[in-house]
Amino acid sequence: MVGLHGSPLRKPYSIACAPWEFAKTGVLQLLAQVEETGAPDPHLELAAPGAEIDLEGPFGTFGLPPDYAERPLLFLAGGTGIAPLRSMLVEHLSRPARQPVALIYSARSVDEFAFRTELNALETAGRITTYFTVTRDDKADWPGRRGRISEALLAEALPSPGSTCFICGPPQLVTDATTLLVKLGVPRDRVLTEKY
């Protein structure tokens, strides 16, 4: 939970950095959505570099399970839901891994893809396979996928029905993707979710 120092208003944020990154740098990364007006969320509108903020937590249980490295992984993010998935992905990639890793990332527009340069670099290095899709952007120069996450996209991206799947995003995306993954043969207990 995060808020300006001394303010009673708090909002939940997911940690976007891996534990080893925080241990190495002492910097805790959070992802804050900026609205179309250009202003950050109202409770952080006065935040500037060096501003004090209050943190409570962390809370929750959404994270890598003990046996995660034994199976292929699928990360599925909607909007700022990429934050905890980026944390888990970077943590996973810091260890020797033999199983394939895929990421589906849906955003309203191309400009809303956080960490896109980093994720593209991981794909170029052969560490992950990425599937970016935009749902509302009508820019003609976007060569990638368009539309919501579909059964066809999940079937293409899913490394295997034995994968562990992590989903974070708006409630409807989480519900729909979970249903589709189970339909594709992923055991329900291998689909781990977080809604915001």
User: CATH number for the domain including 123?
Assistant: 3.40.50.80
Coil, strand or helix at 3: strand
Q: Tell me, yes or no, if the pTM score tops 0.75.
A: yes
Evaluate whether residue 97 is within a structural domain.
Answer: yes
Task: Give yes or no for a contact between 152 and 177, defined as CB atoms under 8 angstroms apart.
Answer: no
Average pLDDT over residues 111-126: 94
The pLDDT value given to residue 24: 95
Evaluate whether residue 133 is within a structural domain.
Answer: yes
b/e sequence 93-109, b meaning 16+ C-beta within 10 Å: eeeeeebbbbbbbbbee
pLDDT at residue 189 greater than cutoff 90: yes
Report residue 158 as tokens.
Answer: 């899913």
The pLDDT value given to residue 129: 96
Q: What is the mean pLDDT of the chain?
A: 89
> Which domain range does residue 173 map to?
68-195
Evaluate whether residue 48 is within a structural domain.
Answer: no
Average pLDDT over residues 134-148: 81
pLDDT at residue 174 greater than cutoff 70: yes
Evaluate whether residue 162 is within a structural domain.
Answer: yes
Evaluate whether residue 135 is within a structural domain.
Answer: yes
Evaluate whether residue 171 is within a structural domain.
Answer: yes
pLDDT at residue 31 greater than cutoff 90: no
Evaluate whether residue 59 is within a structural domain.
Answer: no
Evaluate whether residue 164 is within a structural domain.
Answer: yes
Task: Give yes or no for a contact between 159 and 73, defined as CB atoms under 8 angstroms apart.
Answer: yes
Q: Could you tell me the pLDDT band of residue 43, with boundaries at 50, 70 and 90?
A: low
The pLDDT value given to residue 147: 86
How many structural domains compose the chain? Answer: 1
CA 178 to chain centre: 15
The pLDDT value given to residue 193: 95
pLDDT digits (tens, 9 = 90+) for 75-111: 999 999 999 999 999 999 998 878 999 999 999 888 8
Of 89, 48, 71, 61, nearest in space to 162 by CA: 71
Express as a percent the part of the chain with pLDDT over 90.
57
